[in-house]
Chain A
């Protein structure tokens, strides 16, 4: 309302000032050309810096290498791609990694989602401590976590191996799942669940028909995250692996005696898989964000 008084105010001298400020973006655009060009170069360099190692990995998966090492370009070949599982140990390690990743993702996503629902929707004794302790695995250094897990397994007399890796991965993934799903839940109108109950849906029916579909994007994002965390984990795994080899453990060990080119092939495949998952996640999130935005408008 007060703005109506502006023209008659002593502020009036400002009015001519409007013209240059309106012209400002135009003046900006002229030198902006050069600046934008610079920005392009800069961004390209930054991206190159980020992806260069990955490019090397991909390129060398096509290298016709000799000997145990794969660090020198000897010509193009598709033979490694034709037979990616030539190295049996490597194949076994990858199989372990994938299996652990899938299992830990499923378990951690299910448990973490339920935990998030409990934390957001219900008030219970010990809620605040739980909320705090859930963050602990995220905050503590991986070395500490790996070592303490190993100590625990030793004290309990559990032999380390596939099982202990799985437990460890589930443990650290849950935190990330809880945080991701929680943020989605917090943005969800609690009346939506009440509406479902009001319309005759019991607790179980409400969860599967209304709550889960509504938080599905958050759950999917959490699952992708859990998978990505598990598939490349080295530190925690190395403490608790026993005789079991996983993909990262194998590669790290192999660097000392020679890296078979299959590593590059499988790593590239893995990269494509993870990128695919992430892309899918982004697409789904975008679509749902559009839906939410429209719902709020």
Chain B
């Protein structure tokens, strides 16, 4: 399950000095976290490169916040190693780590003004008074809160408080910034606005951001790399496109958007140098790129995104080379921008189809009960699971 493609090579040498180590800003190696007999994180390894916007995405309780807190030093792993810039910090307390955190609740100091909140970190590090003042002013300028410097946190709106929390962390010029669902408590419009700001700030200052979120759209719009977590492990990591177009597990396929997942029995020999073929419960053939099923033996599960699928009437001819399944429309929903269909095959397979509304009148659409052909480009087929080969 835990598939972190790079980590197997890079996590090996603890003191892999030189360029490789420079690149890796944050590194978790075989980290476990247990509370009593409950395992929260089981053998998690990840590498985050310098300057990346890295998102930990997953449903609540998947261990993403725990992972972040172990990087920040608020939780100690039961076993495993945490490295920052190549240095083992597993046992270091939070105040000795070169990372700063933006908490979901913002956790501003209620008795200190905005200015004093932002200055807190610099004062603890005994930065010269004049310098502190200058950097605080600059930072407040960056987050556009200079006019509120004298206010107490109680007099701020949610969005303002969030920006103070951000300024309070960034003013220390940390090696990496950890964000624990920093936008979770804000309304949708403000959230979108702050997402843009956050991304802009990250680009400007160029430090590593590790962003925990359960909002897939947020992760996809902001992060360079997304790690999808489930049950205390990373299911898959990659760019938004990687994860969406080529999910590797059923969980990822349905956590980011929705997918049609189809169990197939593969044929023993590939069709040609590119494709392999399998049969569905309806004994209809479907093709998929051979390399995507590498390492799998026995029955596999393939998938395709609903918007990649097109419907054709029984007398129409789907494009040459498409995968074609036959079924009956169970439900047809007009949503303005799109038309959504639920199609069921004779064998009970249910497929979601999302078609753009190109026709403009009901004549071109399919009603419930109509027999249809469901077709998609075989290259759009991804393979999520199967019995693992040999192992």
Chain A residues with CB under 8 Å of chain B are: 189, 191-192, 194-202, 205, 209-210, 213-214, 216, 290-295
How many Å lie between the Cα of A279 and that of B19 in the bound state? 66
Residues from chain B with Cβ under 8 Å of A292 in the complex: 110, 154
Q: Please tell me if B150 contacts chain A, counting CB pairs below 8 Å.
A: no
Cβ-neighbour of A205 out of B73, B101, B124 (below 8 A): B124
Smallest Cβ-Cβ distance to B96: which chain A residue: A200
Q: Please tell me if B153 contacts chain A, counting CB pairs below 8 Å.
A: yes
Given contacts A198-B100, A213-B111, A214-B111, contact A191 B152 (CB under 8 A): no
The prevalent SS among residues of A at the interface is helix
Q: Contact at A198–B105, with CB atoms within 8 Å?
A: no
Q: Please tell me if B326 contacts chain A, counting CB pairs below 8 Å.
A: no
Q: How far is the CB of A200 from chain B (nearest CB, A)?
A: 4
How many Å lie between the Cα of A199 and that of B99 in the bound state? 9
Q: How far is the CB of B131 from chain A (nearest CB, A)?
A: 15
Q: Contact at A295–B101, with CB atoms within 8 Å?
A: no
Extra 6 A-B pairs, beta carbons < 8 Å, given A198-B169, A199-B169, A210-B109: A192-B107, A195-B101, A197-B93, A199-B120, A202-B93, A295-B110
Q: Contact at A199–B111, with CB atoms within 8 Å?
A: no
Smallest Cβ-Cβ distance to A202: which chain B residue: B95
Residues from chain A with Cβ under 8 Å of B111 in the complex: 213-214, 216
Q: Contact at A196–B120, with CB atoms within 8 Å?
A: yes
Residues from chain A with Cβ under 8 Å of B110 in the complex: 192, 214, 291-292, 295
How many Å lie between the Cα of A201 and that of B73 in the bound state? 13
A191, A198, A209, A295 interface centre (most CB from chain B within 10 Å): A198
Q: Contact at A196–B109, with CB atoms within 8 Å?
A: yes
Chain B, 52-106, CB within 8 A of any chain A CB: 72-74, 93-95, 99-101, 103-105
Q: Mark B115-129, 1 if CB is under 8 A from A, else 0.
A: 000001100110000
Residues from chain A with Cβ under 8 Å of B153 in the complex: 295
How many Å lie between the Cα of A145 and that of B121 in the bound state? 49
Q: Mind listing 17 A-B residue pairs with CB under 8 Å?
A: A189-B107, A194-B103, A195-B103, A197-B73, A197-B74, A198-B73, A198-B74, A199-B168, A199-B172, A200-B95, A200-B172, A202-B93, A205-B124, A292-B110, A294-B152, A294-B155, A295-B153
Residues from chain B with Cβ under 8 Å of A195 in the complex: 101, 103, 107-109, 168
Residues from chain A with Cβ under 8 Å of B152 in the complex: 291, 294
How many Å lie between the Cα of A214 and that of B112 in the bound state? 10
Smallest Cβ-Cβ distance to B94: which chain A residue: A197
Q: Contact at A194–B107, with CB atoms within 8 Å?
A: yes
Smallest Cβ-Cβ distance to A188: which chain B residue: B110
Residues from chain B with Cβ under 8 Å of A210 in the complex: 109
Residues from chain A with Cβ under 8 Å of B169 in the complex: 198-199
Smallest Cβ-Cβ distance to A200: which chain B residue: B124
A195, A196, A295 interface centre (most CB from chain B within 10 Å): A195
Q: Contact at A194–B74, with CB atoms within 8 Å?
A: yes
Smallest Cβ-Cβ distance to B99: which chain A residue: A198
Q: Mark B127-150, 1 if CB is under 8 A from A, else 0.
A: 000000000000000000000000
A-B complex: 8 closest residue pairs judged by Cβ atoms: A294-B154, A199-B121, A200-B124, A191-B107, A195-B107, A295-B154, A213-B111, A197-B94
Residues from chain A with Cβ under 8 Å of B172 in the complex: 199-200
Q: How far is the CB of B172 from chain A (nearest CB, A)?
A: 7
Q: Contact at A198–B154, with CB atoms within 8 Å?
A: no
Cβ-neighbour of B109 out of A202, A214, A290 (below 8 A): A214
Q: How far is the CB of A234 from chain B (nearest CB, A)?
A: 39
Cβ-neighbour of B105 out of A189, A196, A293, A294 (below 8 A): A189
Q: Contact at A198–B95, with CB atoms within 8 Å?
A: yes
Residues from chain A with Cβ under 8 Å of B72 in the complex: 198
How many Å lie between the Cα of A74 and that of B8 in the bound state? 99
Smallest Cβ-Cβ distance to A191: which chain B residue: B107
Residues from chain B with Cβ under 8 Å of A191 in the complex: 103-105, 107
Smallest Cβ-Cβ distance to B126: which chain A residue: A200
Given contacts A196-B120, A200-B124, contact A291 B95 (CB under 8 A): no
Q: Contact at B154–A291, with CB atoms within 8 Å?
A: yes
Smallest Cβ-Cβ distance to B120: which chain A residue: A199
How many Å lie between the Cα of A213 and that of B120 in the bound state? 14
Q: Contact at A198–B101, with CB atoms within 8 Å?
A: yes
Q: Contact at B95–A201, with CB atoms within 8 Å?
A: yes
Q: How far is the CB of B226 from chain A (nearest CB, A)?
A: 24
How many Å lie between the Cα of A199 and that of B154 in the bound state? 20
Chain B, 169-216, CB within 8 A of any chain A CB: 169, 172
Q: How far is the CB of B333 from chain A (nearest CB, A)?
A: 19
Q: Contact at A200–B107, with CB atoms within 8 Å?
A: no
How many Å lie between the Cα of A224 and that of B228 in the bound state? 53
Smallest Cβ-Cβ distance to B104: which chain A residue: A191
Given contacts A291-B152, A292-B154, contact A198 B109 (CB under 8 A): no
How many Å lie between the Cα of A213 and that of B108 in the bound state? 13
How many Å lie between the Cα of A198 and that of B125 in the bound state? 12
Q: Contact at B107–A199, with CB atoms within 8 Å?
A: no
Q: Contact at A197–B95, with CB atoms within 8 Å?
A: yes
Q: How far is the CB of A202 from chain B (nearest CB, A)?
A: 6
Given contacts A199-B124, A200-B125, A295-B154, contact A192 B109 (CB under 8 A): yes
Smallest Cβ-Cβ distance to A213: which chain B residue: B111
Cβ-neighbour of B101 out of A192, A194, A213, A293 (below 8 A): A194
Q: How far is the CB of B99 from chain A (nearest CB, A)?
A: 8
Residues from chain B with Cβ under 8 Å of A209 in the complex: 120
How many Å lie between the Cα of A205 and that of B96 in the bound state? 14
Q: How far is the CB of A211 from chain B (nearest CB, A)?
A: 10
Smallest Cβ-Cβ distance to B168: which chain A residue: A199
How many Å lie between the Cα of A73 and that of B211 in the bound state? 78
Residues from chain A with Cβ under 8 Å of B100 in the complex: 198-199
Smallest Cβ-Cβ distance to A294: which chain B residue: B154
